[in-house]
Amino acid sequence: MKSTLWISCGVVIVGLMIGSWWLMDSAPDQDAQAQTVRQNEQGQSQEVSTTLVNEPSSASMAKATIDEKRELVRQCWDDTMPQSSDYADDDLSDALFNALANGTPYELLMQQAPTDNTSNYQMQLMRAWRYQQLLAQGYTDDESGHSSSDNEYLNSLSEQQRKIMVVEEKASQDFYTLTEQVKPLLNLNDAAFAEQTSDLTLSSGQFVGFMLQGLAPEKLALLLDRVAPQELTAQPLVINFTSSIPFLNIADYAAYALDVPLLQKLAERGVYPSQVDGVIGPIDRALLHRRMGQDDDQNVLAAVQYLVENGYKVAVSSAEDKEYLGSSLLNMQWVTVADEVKNYLMSHQATVPGVSTPPVTNPEIKAAISKKTLQIANVSEQRQRCTELAEQQLDAEGLMPFTQINELMGQLAEKYQGEALLDALQAEDPVLAALYEDHNTTRARGAHEQQLREALLSQDPVVALTELLQTTPLDSVDTSIVLMQLVRSPELLEAWNSRLQPVAPESLSALSYTRSDNLQYLVEQGFDLTVQDAHGDNLYSVFFNNAPDSVQWLLAEHIDPFSNRYGPDGLDYALDKSYIDNQLFAGTAQILQACLSLEPSHLRRMARLKQYRPEVYQALLALDPTIKLSDDIKPNVMLSINY
């Protein structure tokens, strides 16, 4: 994956991300539903803390400068963020805990999730249940002497939520102690590992915790023998893991992890994935597995085939007159199912009609859900207003909305293919070429992911990684992982430089998070700053977007700003950075000096400075008075740097 995403509507995208986080994966049609709730329950509106506040008017936007417009849009999005009172006022967690404490089965509460806010509901339910179970195991929620007692976020929560966090932290410390006990044994052969862990007794939750850490299948199989018999079918109490997907036993986690060998071993012990026909089952969990690339589509297919062969089926649900595979309980209409998986399920008649889940009957839970729905509706209105303001901002700056950028890429993709397409995109604007490469990069897993994980889990990760690098040829994805470790542990540099059959990393983004002292150490010890990723991008693309101060390192080491064939070059970035900051980028003179000839993309960015930032344009001319722009050169309509 490329390190950055170049878009002209950065504020819009950031805003949408903020809104999506607060809305917790709500469905798009929730606005109409929320409006009905608002009309029927107007009496609650005074209790909701998230309201439409500080909305800038169209008139104020019209009078504002470019920078003032951006600030108005940014402030609009900030006003959609939850406040401390929102955390403390969220009653759903308390209501679910009370229902569990009063004897309502977890499975019933799981099925009563509201369709318009199911992700948040399921996560709150998992945490409430986990809290109840941890208390039963003897953990206390006494906050005295708690390490986070002065934490501002913790203090903003309700008393019940604080207690949940305290209990979880205590249980987490115990699980960490257990992992530290097992960690040194992972380098042993299987026979020695089995002997050294023979006295170990694990709960189902502890076993799943090790599974989620990515232990080698052989070691995981041996740890399965250490799970107490009565725990094999118990609902796993997993520390440091909260999901919107309900899991009722170890096999449910194995289905989600696409681990067919583990499913087979569990079946030998009489442990099978849970299934509520037409509602949720192991195929749903397999389809919800987070895909990392085409290889995982194959793993999903293999897991689905195993499950179908063992009699499992998946629900066919519907939303807005559209059918989809998977549970309505989990909003699976947004899940992309690979065609080969879909065809297999259909050809083997492995589907059943989806069924409606039972309505929420608990009054306390109903009231909490209604309150949250009203909050969501208010935030949704604010989000729509912010989107409109952001569109006005883009129009005022002569920048192209992201939808139009996508349309333009699509039009060019219909006319050209391969390198001809990249050349056409580059000619239109280097940002398009970079975007296209980013969109069409395979999100795959590395070939040696398991070996890397084992090295990182070993007692001395630096020694283990060094041995792996010098004996195993890694692919570009693996190399990106190693680069991240190099950033964390600069002492790995010698091993990095002596890699067996080195290839370019898939991404250089890890270097944008390097502390200045680590970067200085790496450079002094001989790290090659001319490194490029697998797509030919250099460090300018990474640093300009994520760590602009580090660009000076590249210039000081005389790293060529124009070494990449596709995508923005150093001068494109410097000019866009100057436009965004309303001051000439400090390294512009040195980059100009290295420029053999001005490209059309450079001239268009200079035209943008001339039209929208005349003072910055004059500063540019002072650097190079020979720069001449004809009147027919129009400003660029997309920027290479997010803002």
Average pLDDT over every residue of 515-523 = 82
Largest CA-CA distance found in the chain, in angstroms, rounded: 82
Per-chain mean pLDDT for the chain: 83
Q: Is the model's pLDDT at 291 over the cut of 70? A: no
**Do 212 and 243 contact (CB within 8 A), yes or no?**
no
Contacts of 112 (CB under 8 A, 6+ apart): 357, 358, 359, 360, 361, 365
> Which one has a higher pLDDT value, 19 or 573?
573
**Do 566 and 434 contact (CB within 8 A), yes or no?**
yes
Cα-flanking dihedrals φ and ψ of residue 319, to 5°? -150, 130
pLDDT of residue 83: 63
Q: What is the DSSP string of 301-356?
A: HHHHHHHHHTT--EEEEEETTEEEES-GGGTGGG----HHHHHHHHHTT-EEE--P
Burial class (CB in 10 A: 0-12, 13-18, 19+), 138: exposed
The SS3 of residue 417 is coil
Which percentage of the chain shows pLDDT scores above 70?
85
Which percentage of the chain shows pLDDT scores above 90?
51
**Do 539 and 511 contact (CB within 8 A), yes or no?**
yes
> Whose CA is closest to 209, among 168, 155, 164?
168
* Lookup: tokens for 498: 């002596």
Average pLDDT over every residue of 263-267 = 96
Q: Is the model's pLDDT at 462 over the cut of 70? A: yes
Q: How far apart are CA 144 and CA 141, in angstroms?
A: 9
Average pLDDT over every residue of 82-104 = 78
The string of pLDDT tens digits covering residues 126-181 is 999 999 999 999 999 877 655 554 566 666 677 777 888 889 999 999 999 999 89
Q: How far apart are CA 502 and CA 469, in angstroms?
A: 9
Q: How far apart are CA 112 and CA 109, in angstroms?
A: 5
pTM passes above 0.85: no
> Which one has a higher pLDDT value, 44 or 329?
329
The SS3 of residue 43 is helix
**Do 541 and 509 contact (CB within 8 A), yes or no?**
no
pLDDT of residue 64: 76
For 10-60, strand residue ranges (E) read none
Handedness of CA 501, 503, 505, 511 (dihedral sign): positive
